[in-house]
Amino acid sequence: MYDDPNVVLHCEKIDKIYPGTKALDQVSFDLLRAKVNVLIGENGAGKSTLMKMIAGIEQPSAGKMYMGGEEVSFKDTNAARAKGIGIIHQELSLFPNLTVYQNIFMCHEKKNGLFLNDKKHIEGARKILQRLEHEIPPETLVGDLRVGQQQMVEIARNLIQDDLKVLIMDEPTSSLSAAEVKVLFKIMRELLEQGISIVYISHRLEEIMEIGDHVTILRDGKYVADADVKDIELSWIVENMVGKNTQYHRFERSIDLDHAEKILELKDISLPKKGGGWLLDNVSMNLKKGEVLGVYGLLGAGRSELFECLMGLRPEHTGEVIYNGQKIQIKNVSSQIKKGFALVPEDRQRQGLIQTLDICKNASIASLRKYTSGVFCNDSKESTAVDDSIQKLHIKVADKHLPILSLSGGNQQKVVISKGLLTNPTVLLMDEPSRGIDIGAKTEVFEIIHQLSEEGLSIIVISSELKEIMAIADRIYVLSNGKLTGELVGEEITEDNLVRASYAGLGTGRSAS
Amino acid sequence: MKKQNNNQLLMTLLKGRTFIVLIILVIFFSFAAKSFLSVATLTMVAKHVALYGILGLGMTFVIITGGIDLSVGSVVGLTGMLAGGMIQEGLTIGSKTLYFSVPSIIVIMCIFGILVGAVNGLIVTKLGVAPFIATLGTMYICRGFANLRSGGATFSKLNGYEALGNTGFKALGSNFLGIPAGVYVFAILAVIAAILLKKVPFGWYVLAVGGNEKSARLSGIKADKIKIFVYMISGFCAAWVGIINTSQLNAAHPASGDGWEMNAIAATVLGGTSMAGGSGTIIGTIVGAFVIGVINDGMTMCGVSEFWQKVIRGLVIILAVVIDQTQRNLQAKMALQARNESK
């Protein structure tokens, strides 16, 4: 039995296993009463997963949870809510098609007998929004609000619960302006005074130092450390977040990049965000011939959006792109491929592969036009090209007409890379090329990147893994909240510099406007 | 500033567009066909509108959740055949033949319709079959059984027998105070549907599931239950149409209701319910049903050929959806404008 009056909820050795990955590994966690419990970790460290267990959205594969000395288990969100646990999700979980008051009172309706009492709803919504210092008319459609206001509605939904004991906030400030954050902190302090315990997940380290009471750090699904905020400094957090384990070997370059020509230049690229703010905010960068350029940043920093701009998926972007010394107009994907751009997308399964096609077709699909005789497909031309590619990238394939899913993750990724290479690109964009593949395959992918760049291909790599990007990139740009916050070369490339730059754009931002 | 006023005027016109179209249609047909504005014609139109309208009520719920119910036309046929068969032949169990009174037949048919709806809902939610496919399947199955019930023959003269206590079926097809009985049923069901959608939590849940199913689940709404329930409502409505239609014809024909699901969908979409789910109103569907009814009967009275009628109906539906899209875009634009001004 676990019974500590200062702990409102205790997690004991929680495991969560998803097919293929262990998202949580024997994590124990104390949720302190009437405190702001901060959870920190890199993307994929398991913070959100742990909170999903506590909120009843998902169930642990193993392990126990205790509240007030009693074991509890939540089969769904209703069960967790019955125990006074509310959650504000990382991704807004609102109904854009309904009004503000309907959103706030959804599943907590006030009724006159059988019928909804909308008068009470509107009144209640107005009151709660007043408390949040956001007097949004309760009859407004939530879809018409800007993101910061929607976030406030999401917060309001949780505050109407009378018996709220624990409030989980998963990155609640990611879309709030500085002023809104201030209001949120004020509300949080009020909640603490009422004895409500808060779990706070955020990437904004300075916020954590301001509002947090106790910090717990997770890494790769494992518990790393915990401490009271008053006892620690920022550098302690960074150190524990990143860890000191895996090291990749750094490649030697034979190309003199200092004198290499610039093949691509971006000037003041901006991309507006739906609902206000910017996904990319006046980003300028350049890429040299034969260079491996790293782009580092946190989730939502605008990394993938940058690639989407370059590939013609975001025609609404503004700014100038100079390619091979000429200003180019980016219209659509196929014209970008023709110009010599190729993308290895972030989500292999959803964006990279066509699962119903075989290995060969997956590799050749982007360049099929090249393997034709007249109007017909020429299988032997296609076959030769794919075979060459398989050999070059060392893809382990018994028969290239097998289903693509018969390959391991690493080999699937190589097929995606070869699809890009078969279009004969001059610039290769790789979005998280090592995601979801094992360590051996990672090293191979890095070797391929190195080899290709030695052959003169210019490559931009996005990665959220510090160690990896430090190993492969010749130069690194850091994006934070859509802004370019750092350009690091050579000796400047250190973990500390990267992490600091990746937080630099947060806090006060244009995102509020 | 002036531009904004223009926008607002356009918005009001767009919002009431189906109603405006309805008025224009009525005016047009009253000139094009001399007898259109007569009591007899309007009664006939109302009779047809009631049938499409009742189907549309159920369809509105289903479409708001993001689904579709293609089986309703066949359920109309099947419930008609089952009702007709029960009056003519009774229900034979073993060596005994039972005859039911008309009210109990109506109740049994409603339950039957609800059951078909429940099956649709279960296939969609528990087996994960896309609504289009699931209800396409039950559409064929129900139509098949409608034909099997009589070997393809029609049950005619459904007057019942005094001795068996099952007379009075014709009442649902006749007029009361000059208005067809079906219109009364339509009115009552429409009021109930409007209350369900607007005045009780269930309506919120339906809109929530259609608007963002994941959020609905996270909010604790039992999304599967809601979905099953909307198909049950649709089945219930289809059963009523089956009964009323059979009563109006005083005969049950296995091909009855063929293609009516399309009229119901058309009425719903014309009424502003979004096929993507998440929005829709009962009053919209009612007006939509009137538009469909007036176009169908109006064109027939003007002597437009059946073939051209189909072409025109198709154009009207596409036009309606295009206008709907325009309205949404305009709405989004105005919201953005308002937001910028408030800054």
Q: Kindly list the structural domains of chain A, giving each domain's residue range(s) and its CATH number in brackets, ordered by start.
A: 7-242 (3.40.50.300), 257-340+425-512 (3.40.50.300), 353-422 (no CATH)
> Least CA distance to B217: which residue of chain A?
A77
| pLDDT band per the 50, 70, 90 thresholds, residue A511 | very low
Return the pLDDT at A126.
92
Using an 8 Å CB-CB cutoff, list chain B residues near A146. 339
In a 13 Å sphere around the CA of A470, the CA atoms on its Cβ side amount to 17
Whether B211 sits inside 8 A of A98 (CB atoms) is yes
More confident residue, A212 or A253: A212
Return the pLDDT at A99.
93
Establish if B208 touches chain A: CB-CB under 8 angstroms: yes
Q: What is the pTM of this model?
A: 0.75
Return the pLDDT at A92.
74
Using an 8 Å CB-CB cutoff, list chain A residues near B332. 144
Using an 8 Å CB-CB cutoff, list chain A residues near B218. 57, 77, 89, 93
Whether B204 sits inside 8 A of A94 (CB atoms) is no
Lowest mean pLDDT among A177-191, A384-398, B125-139, B205-219: A177-191
Using an 8 Å CB-CB cutoff, list chain A residues near B343. 513
Average pLDDT of the residues of chain A: 86
More confident residue, A28 or B10: A28
**Torsion angle, alpha carbons of A41, A42, A46, A48, to 10:** 80
pLDDT at position B209 over 90: yes
More confident residue, A297 or A22: A297
Report the percent of chain A where pLDDT is more than 70: 95
A292-318 tens-digit pLDDT: 999 998 877 888 899 999 999 888 888
SS3 A11: strand
Return the pLDDT at A513.
31
> Mind telling me how many Å the CA of A118 is from chain B's nearest CA?
9
Using an 8 Å CB-CB cutoff, list chain B residues near A95. 207-208, 211-212, 215-216, 278
Whether A116 sits inside 8 A of B201 (CB atoms) is yes
Q: Highest mean pLDDT range out of A85-94, B90-99, B213-222? A: B213-222
Torsion-angle region of A107 (φ positive above 0: left; ψ -120 to 50: alpha; else: beta): left
Amino acid sitting at position A185: F
pLDDT at position A93 over 70: yes
pLDDT at position B3 over 60: no
pLDDT at position A512 over 60: no
pLDDT at position A230 over 50: yes
What ipTM describes this predicted complex? 0.82
Whether B215 sits inside 8 A of A116 (CB atoms) is no
**Torsion angle, alpha carbons of A332, A333, A336, A342, to 10:** 160
| pLDDT band per the 50, 70, 90 thresholds, residue A275 | low
Lowest mean pLDDT among A108-112, A391-395, B12-16, B138-142: B12-16
SS3 B331: helix
> Looking at the partner chain, which of B204, B210, B220 has a beta carbon nearest the beta carbon of A77?
B220
Whether A116 sits inside 8 A of B212 (CB atoms) is no
Whether A76 sits inside 8 A of B211 (CB atoms) is no
Return the pLDDT at A510.
38
Average pLDDT of the residues of chain B: 88
Whether B219 sits inside 8 A of A77 (CB atoms) is yes
Return the pLDDT at A257.
81
> Least CA distance to B277: which residue of chain A?
A97
Return the pLDDT at B342.
56
> Mind telling me how many Å the CA of B185 is from chain A's nearest CA?
23
Q: Highest mean pLDDT range out of A195-204, A227-236, A490-499, B53-62? A: B53-62
pLDDT at position A88 over 70: yes
Question: Residue A199's closest CA among A283, A80, A328?
Answer: A80
pLDDT at position A21 over 90: no
SS3 B20: helix
CA distances A205 to A49, A190, A239, B265, B328, Å, are: 20, 22, 13, 53, 40
| pLDDT band per the 50, 70, 90 thresholds, residue B306 | confident
State the best of B192, B196, B212 to mutate against chain A, taking most chain A CBs within 10 Å.
B212
Whether B204 sits inside 8 A of A102 (CB atoms) is yes
Return the pLDDT at B333.
73
Establish if B272 touches chain A: CB-CB under 8 angstroms: no
State the best of A57, A93, A94, A97 to mutate against chain B, taking most chain B CBs within 10 Å.
A97
Q: What is the mean pLDDT of residues A276-289?
A: 88
Torsion-angle region of A46 (φ positive above 0: left; ψ -120 to 50: alpha; else: beta): left
| Cβ-Cβ contacts under 8 Å for A506 (sequence gap 6 or more) | A203, A204, A206, A480, A481
pLDDT at position B272 over 90: no
Establish if B216 touches chain A: CB-CB under 8 angstroms: yes
Using an 8 Å CB-CB cutoff, list chain B residues near A97. 207, 210-212, 278-279
Whether A95 sits inside 8 A of B343 (CB atoms) is no
Establish if B281 touches chain A: CB-CB under 8 angstroms: no
Return the pLDDT at A509.
41
CA distances B61 to B55, B64, B269, Å, are: 11, 5, 12
Q: Is A242:A251 a contact under the CB 8 Å cutoff?
A: no
State the best of A58, A81, A91, A98 to mutate against chain B, taking most chain B CBs within 10 Å.
A98
Q: What is the mean pLDDT of residues A56-73?
A: 88
> Looking at the partner chain, which of B204, B212, B220 has a beta carbon nearest the beta carbon of A81?
B220
Q: What is the mean pLDDT of residues A123-128?
A: 92
pLDDT at position B177 over 50: yes
More confident residue, A161 or A60: A60
pLDDT at position A441 over 50: yes
Using an 8 Å CB-CB cutoff, list chain A residues near B211. 95-98
| pLDDT band per the 50, 70, 90 thresholds, residue B341 | low
